[in-house]
Amino acid sequence: MAERPIFVPTSEEDGYVRRIDFEIPWAGGFAEVQKKKNIRSLHDAAKAAGYESLLEVSTKSDEVAGRHLSAFHLRVTSDGGEMPLENAFQGSKVFEHGGPYTELYDVDPREAKRDPRLRSSGALTGFEYNGFRFPLEPTTVFYDWLYLNAIFPHRQWLKNRVDGEKRYDGFTDIEFNPNRSINCQAKSCALFVSLMREDKLEQYLETPSTFIDAMSAHPSRSAPHQPHVRQARFHVA
């Protein structure tokens, strides 16, 4: 068994995104067929709780929109040009004893993620990107900034496919383990949908400061627990 979350778009007053954790039977292994079994298990558990329509946001998604929304395929624009989102995230990290290691902007994304300096430079203190220093709080504000800006040019396509006729109740990323990671592309996607529904997207993405202030304005909140389902209602940033 394993516990995995879904991310549900909510109102600004409700913290933008609600995370709901489900305990599901877990198919171990790295084969794609095993990943798809786990996706089905998570979606079935969520459906039993009333979340009928979910989109898996990853390269393992059965839907084109889900694969296109995977951070693996997304690119961001910086002062130095365009790069994969993963490179921007890793190369912008600032540590106690080094960074940002901006040369990682120009390597293979997997190489950027495995660079030994990311584990030998002391504690993470923030991020520096396009001359702006991003804080560690709210916890995922820099990753969300990158993700939202990466998909912003495609917002009309996304509105038609993610929030149009087929309006998704929530988003998942089967690779995300909340016990090991903080940032999640499915969570960022849910935030994008929330801001799009409330016509706040363009306003909040005007500047990094505007985005950080908007995300900081709505603190984390607890949601009541349900049997076999753990809920966490919180501010996503």
Please report the DSSP string for 112-136 in residue order: HHH-THHHHS-SEEEEEETTEEEPS
Confidence of residue 44 (pLDDT cuts 50, 70, 90): very high
| Residues contacting residue 60 through CB under 8 Å, at least 6 positions apart | 32, 35, 36, 39, 174, 175
Mean pLDDT of 67-91: 91
Instruction: Give the pLDDT mean for 111-129.
Output: 97
For range 32-57, the mean pLDDT: 95
Mean pLDDT of 115-140: 96
* Of 27-31, 158-162, 184-188, 212-216, the least confident: 158-162
The CB density around residue 58, as the number of other CB atoms within 10 Å, is 22
For residues 97-104, average pLDDT: 97
Domain range summary for the chain, segments of one domain joined by +: 2-73+148-199+224-235, 80-129
Q: How confident is the model at residue 221 (pLDDT cuts 50, 70, 90)?
A: very low
pLDDT (mean) for 129-143? 95
Q: What is the pLDDT of residue 79?
A: 81
pTM for this prediction:
0.90
- Of 4 and 79, more confident: 4
Whether the pLDDT of residue 162 is over 90: the answer is: no
φ and ψ at residue 216, rounded to 5 degrees: -80, -15
Q: What is the dihedral of CA 13, 220, 73, 145, to 10 degrees?
A: 80
Tell whether the model's pLDDT for residue 166 goes beyond 80.
no
- pLDDT above 70 covers what percent of the chain? 91
> Is pLDDT of 228 > 80?
no
Helix orientation angle between 141-151 and 208-216, rounded to the nearest 10 degrees: 120
Assess whether pLDDT exceeds 70 at residue 222. Answer: no
Q: Is the pLDDT of residue 220 over 50?
A: no
Residue 225 or residue 22, greater confidence: 22
Per-residue pLDDT at 236: 38
Q: What's residue 80's pLDDT? A: 74
Q: Is 81 left (phi over 0), alpha (psi -120 to 50) or beta?
A: left
CA 33 from centroid of its chain's CA atoms: 23
